[in-house]
Amino acid sequence: MNLTVYGVNTLREAILSGYLKRGGEICVSEKKRKNGKIDKDLIKLLKDKNINIVTKKDNVFIKYFGKEALAKGIAANIEYTEKVYEKLFDEANAGSSSQPMPLYLILDEITDPQNLGSIIRTANCVGISGIILPKSNSVFITPSVAYVSQGALFYVNMTRVVNISRTIRDLKGRGILVVGLSNESEDTIYETDYNVPVAIVIGSEGRGLRRLTIEKCEKVLKIPMAGSINSLNASVSFAVTAYEIMRQRKTD
């Protein structure tokens, strides 16, 4: 799929990850070029990688990349590749020194691009094996998601499936512990041993996990709260849980 990426950090990672290749180009808005506000380290990287810098008038820039990109003044179009579902397990089973046991994330109808971008950024930091989303009723990769992820998108395997419940059943059949997050649970995330392959399941921003999804999870856990409200943002919930998993795996 064709994807517009903008912003210095996102473009840098697009280059370093190989998504923006030699002989390609990035575009700078005329206003930004005249102001001379182009990151010097990025310019050096572009020269080292033989990637061209093209200046476009602001109205043309908007036509190609959109108004959000114009605010940053620098953008490119790349071809983003979604991961094949089965390939998630081939790579995870190979293991690594940083994340020897698989850790997956299932997002059940997340619709906010800001949330998804933040989740992807955290997912890269914790060594996620893959993010799984439904093909319907869910946001996927957009320019905004790529920007909020600050380029982490290019290092995280992402795939979409037709049916989340069926996917959970498949993961369980592969020996993966499927843990749903819900504030309705009695058990907390701190009462489970994560030194096994794990998949975290997080529901939509408004409703949380669907009842059918909850029924398919092996465990349903909550993050304890001490304040007046009873829920966290989806990206924060994932971060808290993922770092508890990382803590256990690093210290046990």
User: Residue 98 above 60 pLDDT?
Assistant: no
Report residue 208's pLDDT band, with 50, 70 and 90 as the boundaries.
Answer: confident
Enumerate residues 6+ apart whose C-beta is below 8 A from 76.
4, 5, 6, 11, 14, 20, 24, 25, 26, 27
Q: Which of 7-21, 87-101, 112-126 has the lowest mean pLDDT?
A: 87-101
Q: Is 177 helix (H, G, I), strand (E, B) or coil?
A: strand
Whether pLDDT at 63 is above 60: yes
Least confident of 3-12, 182-191, 206-215: 206-215
**CA 170, CA 177: separation in Å to the nearest integer?**
11
The residue with tokens 């020996």 is 175
Q: Which segment of 39-53, 90-104, 230-244 scores lowest on mean pLDDT?
A: 90-104
Q: What residue spans define the domains of the chain?
A: 2-79, 87-251
What is the residue type of 20? L
CATH 3.40.630.30 corresponds to the domain 87-251: no
CB 158 within 8 A of CB 82: yes
Look at residue 226 and give its three-state secondary structure.
Answer: coil
Between the CA of residue 201 and those of 119, 123, 152, 178, 231, what are the distances in Å?
Answer: 12, 13, 20, 7, 15
DSSP secondary structure code for residue 169 in this structure = H
- Give CA torsion, residues 55, 60, 66, 71, to 10 deg: 50
The H-or-E segment that residue 219 falls in is strand 219-221
The reported pLDDT for the residue numbered 99 is: 46
Q: Note the pLDDT tens digit of each residue in 167-202.
A: 999 999 999 999 999 988 889 999 999 999 999 999
- Is pLDDT at 230 greater than 90 in this prediction? no
Res 70: pLDDT? 94
φ/ψ of residue 188, rounded to 5:
-100, 165
| Residue 100 banded pLDDT, cuts 50, 70, 90 | low
Q: Is 88 within 8 Å of 130 (Cβ atoms)?
A: yes
- Decide: 51 and 23 in contact? Cβ < 8 Å: yes
Average pLDDT over residues 219-229: 86
* Per-residue model confidence (pLDDT) at position 175: 95
Question: How much is the average pLDDT of 35-47?
Answer: 86
> Pick from 236, 206, 192: which is nearest to 108 by CA?
206
Check whether domain 2-79 has CATH 3.30.1330.30, yes or no: yes
Listed range (21-35, 58-72, 90-104, 137-151) with the worst mean pLDDT = 90-104
Mean pLDDT of 212-239: 88
pLDDT at 122: 97
Is residue 245 pLDDT above 60, yes or no?
A: yes
The answer, yes or no, to whether residue 94 has pLDDT greater than 90, is no
Q: Model-level pTM?
A: 0.91
Of 244, 122, 109, which is closest to residue 190 (Cα–Cα)?
244
Lookup: tokens for 164: 């989340």
DSSP conformational letter for 40: H
Going by C-alpha positions, the residue among 207, 151, 127, 218 that lies closest to residue 16 is: 151
Residue length of the chain: 252
| pLDDT band at residue 91 using 50, 70 and 90 as cut-offs | low
